[in-house]
Amino acid sequence: MMKKSKILTTFMMMALGLFLVACGPSDEKLAEAEGARSLLLQARQAAEDTYLDITDSDNKDKLKELSDKTAEIEAIDFTKLNDKKIDAVLPTITELTDSYQSMGADMTAILKEETDVREEKAKHLERDVYFINKTGMNLSKLALYDVSRDETSDNYIGDGIYLLNGYSLMGVTLDIYADSTEWEFLITDDGGTDYVLSCSDLRELDPEGMTIVLEYDTKSQEGSAEPPTPEELEDARTEEITPEDAKAEKEDSEASKDSSEAASEDASKDKSGN
């Protein structure tokens, strides 16, 4: 009787073991599920870290949606699922991982672009200036030539506009490379003749604003573009003008000239009796 009892106990333990195996996952499937979830969490962390490094916020809502779904996967106890149920969850884990990786790649590209912009901007210095034209000429062009980089800026005056002698040009921002060491200002008079004006280290100009006086000596054929001395600032009696003002003044002048010519033509016709 004792022997039968032992056999029955052994049988029940074996049956219980088989029942537990049937209810829980196999070691291989459990390892697969945990590995897939680990990759998902790594992909989420990488994507969220990259998002924090960029200024673009377009992916905010999508990341929130993926994070909510990932939290559900994170809460699953795989030891309580059988292989079949784990197989049903694995595609969702893979889909979420792919979404994070795809979004992470897009944001990494954005991060590179933003980093390149920041690094390029760090190479530049901006100096706000206004120019006083004391060259004795009316200028149609004023540009900065970076000798160190062999690059020339746009025409600060603007096409079709003149900076008259004795006038000032306001609202100009010089874009200066921090590693450049030599510059020149290039000017063109209203007759189309070009001149070169020397200048000192533009990096030393006050970032908050600085005056630059344009001067040219026809005898020595040398010119300069330098900040004025205190005496020059005190004695300067120039009229400030922006490029827009200069253009409007030019248009008014041309309109007045056309009107005067038309009036003269009418007077001439009256005298001739036509």
In a domain, residue 274? The reply is no
pTM over 0.75: no
Statement: residue 136 has pLDDT above 60: yes
Quick: pLDDT tens for 49-70: 999 999 999 999 999 999 999 9
Looking at the structure, tell me whether residues 84 and 132 fall in a common domain: no
**Per-residue model confidence as pLDDT tens digits over 85-101:** 999 999 999 999 999 99
Tokens of 40: 């998902």
Q: What angle do CA 59, 65, 66 make, to 5 degrees?
A: 85
Q: What is the mean pLDDT of the chain?
A: 84
Q: What is the pLDDT of residue 45?
A: 96
Is residue 108 located within the same domain as residue 130?
A: no
In the chain, the number of structural domains is: 2
- Closest C-alpha to 183, from 130, 121, 120, 125: 125
> Does residue 236 share a domain with residue 191?
yes
Residue 119 lies in a domain: no
Domain boundary among 46, 78, 113: 113
Question: Mean pLDDT throughout 8-21?
Answer: 44
**243 and 132, same domain (yes or no):** yes
Tell me which of 43-47, 166-170, 248-252, 264-268 is least confident: 264-268
Indicate if 56 and 137 belong to the same structural domain.
no
In a domain, 268, yes or no: no
CA distance from start to end of the chain: 149
Determine the pLDDT at residue 254.
65
Helix axes 60-74, 83-122, angle to 10 degrees: 150
Domain end among 88, 113, 138: 113
Segment 12-23 mean pLDDT: 46
The DSSP call for residue 265 is: H
Q: Is residue 2 part of a domain?
A: no
Whether 197 and 164 share a structural domain: yes
Distance CA 172, CA 165 (A): 18
Question: Do 109 and 175 belong together in one domain?
Answer: no
* Burial class, 16, CB count within 10 angstroms (exposed 0-12 / middle 13-18 / buried 19+): exposed
SS3 state of residue 144: strand
Please determine, for residue 111, whether its predicted confidence score (pLDDT) is greater than 50.
yes
Per-residue pLDDT reduced to its tens digit, 183-240: 999 999 999 999 999 999 998 888 888 899 999 998 999 999 999 876 666 655 444 4
Statement to judge: residues 156 and 104 lie in one domain: no
Calculate mean pLDDT across residues 178-185. Answer: 94
Residue 195 pairs in a beta bridge with 187
The verdict on 148 and 251 lying in the same domain is yes
pLDDT at residue 233, as a whole number = 61
Q: Are residues 223 and 132 in the same domain?
A: yes
Is residue 170 situated within a structural domain? yes
Residue 183: inside a domain? yes
Determine the Cα–Cα distance for residues 157 and 185; give it in Å rounded to an integer.
13
pLDDT of residue 158: 92
My answer on whether 135 and 155 are in the same domain is: yes
Kindly state whether residue 15 falls inside one of the protein's structural domains: no
Domain boundary among 56, 84, 113: 113
Q: How far apart are CA 177 and CA 162, in angstroms?
A: 28
Residue 132 confidence (pLDDT):
94
* pLDDT at residue 273 in the model: 52
Q: Is the domain of 172 the same as that of 212? A: yes
Domain holding 84, by residue range, is 24-113
**pLDDT above 80 (res 119):** yes
What distance in Å separates the CA atoms of residue 165 and residue 131, rounded to the nearest whole number?
A: 11
